[in-house]
Amino acid sequence: MKRQKIGQGDRNQVRVSARERELLADHTFTGPEYVERLLAEPGGTGYAGMFTLDDLEDILGFVAAEANHCEDRKLQRELDTFYDRLSEIEQSYDDGGWSDSDVSRTS
């Protein structure tokens, strides 16, 4: 996978659905500083916010933790799907912080 080069600490726009924002806000321990960045898109049904790769890694950890401990299978599937989508977004960028082992896992 070819990654878009960005600077360390650069923020990139991440779009989520209303349900994905709800999953973050109501079903994970994600801090309000992340959820509040997701603002409603004008004329749309989704939300968008600016996040660094470190921010995304934090959010991925919260989503994974909840999915791994969730007893509701439907909710677990939603969280797993959301995790996979966020992971793809994170892996589409390169801020120079990837190790060789990270690159080999995603190729």
Residue range 87-107: average pLDDT?
65
pTM assigned to the model: 0.81
- Any domain includes 104: no
| Rg, Å, the chain Cα set | 14
Q: Is residue 8 part of a domain?
A: yes
- Cβ atoms of residues 56 and 91 within 8 Å: no
Edge-to-edge, what's the strand order for the sheet holding 12-17? 12-17, 46-51, 39-40
Total domains present in the chain: 1
Q: What is the pLDDT of residues 16-73, one digit of tens each?
A: 999 999 999 999 999 899 999 999 999 888 999 999 999 999 999 999 999 999 999 9
In a domain? residue 13: yes
- Considering the domain boundaries, does residue 10 fall inside one? yes
What residues make up the domain containing 74? 4-94
Residue 49 lies in a domain: yes
Does the residue 106 lie in any domain?
Answer: no
